[in-house]
Amino acid sequence: MAAANEMITADAIEATEFMDLSRKYRVTGVPKTIVNETIEILGGLPEKMFVRQALDLPDPDTP
Amino acid sequence: MGLLSPQDEATLKQHLSSITFPVQLVLFTQAFGGSETGDVAKQILGEIASLNDKITIVEKSFVLDTEDKAKYKVDKAPAIVILSDGIDTRMKMYGAPTGYEFVGLVEAIIVAGTGKIDLDPETMKWVQAVDKPTHIQVFSTPT
């Protein structure tokens, strides 16, 4: 995603090495994704579902 | 002894053969008072770089190279900043790239070295429509 858009930066963080950050973001399982300090995604998701959640796009199945 | 088996090296070399642009892996480590995983990261990057001459490693000090730290917005070490032909791809890895992180690193190197982004066309439209700063942090563990 970062490679596709200059507005996006992506960090992959080894959770056990940076325990303070893991505690800060309440990483209880992996992978855990935090977007702009506000959106949290726990676990791996299919690509479209992940991107929709990460970018806070509306769910097409919700009327 | 290397961290990669000869078989892993052969497979990895094959994957990396699609690279057409030079890829620089900028490694920030902290020699004193830092994590020993910086040495592991250095060894892993060295083994990857030995498999493809378009991949080079640039070593930086997390303590002394403050301009580079600011330029690439590096706030912890060890850190790996991935450049495509000298241009920041905005993809970074923090910690030693072992286990699942290793797979992510190789994928990021291939994106940087080929310019090809493996996203569904619809997803790509959503991503390209982002017009405000978006910082994604993904936490994972080696196993």
* Percent of the residues in chain A that have a pLDDT greater than 70, as a whole number: 97
How far, in whole angstroms, is CA B16 from its chain's centroid?
A: 13
- Please tell me the distance from the alpha carbon of residue B113 to that of residue B105, in angstroms, as a whole number: 12
The average pLDDT across B100-129 equals 95
pLDDT at B128: 97
pLDDT of residue B142: 83
**Least CB-CB distance to B135: which of A4, A9, A21?**
A9
| Adjacent-strand bridge partners of B92 | A11, B81
Chain B residues within 8 A of A30 when measuring between CB atoms: 139-141
As a whole number, the mean pLDDT across chain B is 94
Which whole number is the average pLDDT over B79-106? 95
Task: Judge whether residue B100 has pLDDT over 90.
Answer: no
Query: What average pLDDT does the segment B90-97 reach?
Result: 96
| Rounded Cα gap, residues B47 and B4, in angstroms | 8
Alpha carbon of A53: minimum distance to chain B alpha carbons (Å): 11
CA A7, CA B70: separation in Å to the nearest integer? 17
> What is the pLDDT, as a whole number, of residue B1?
64
Q: Does residue A63 register a pLDDT over 70? A: no
User: Average pLDDT in the B5-22 region?
Assistant: 95
**Closest residue, chain B, to A22 (C-alpha):** B139
Q: Which residues of A touch B123 (CB under 8 A)?
A: 47-48, 51
pLDDT score of B93: 97
Asked if the model's pLDDT at residue B36 lies above 90, the reply is no
Instruction: Write the residue in B93, B124, B142 that is nearest to A4 by C-beta.
Output: B124
**Cβ distance of B138 and A55 shorter than 8 Å:** no
Q: Which residue out of A13, A18, A52, A53 would a mutagenesis test of the B interface target, given it has the greatest number of B Cβ atoms within 10 Å?
A: A13
Q: How far apart are CA B11 and CA B4, in angstroms?
A: 10
User: Taking the CA atoms of chain A, what radius of gyration do you get in angstroms?
Assistant: 13
Q: Is the per-residue pLDDT at B33 higher than 80?
A: no
Taking a C-beta distance cutoff of 8 angstroms, is the pair B62, B56 a contact? no
Phi, psi of B12 (to 5 degrees): -65, -40
Joined together, the tokens standing for residue B133 give 């700063």
Q: Which amino acid is at A38?
A: T
Percent of chain A, pLDDT > 90? 90
Residue B130 is nearest to which of A7, A15, A32, comparing CB atoms?
Answer: A7
What are chain B's domains? 6-128 (3.40.30.10)
> Residue A58 pLDDT > 90, yes or no?
no
Reduced to 3 states (helix: H, G, I; strand: E, B; else coil), residue B126 is: helix
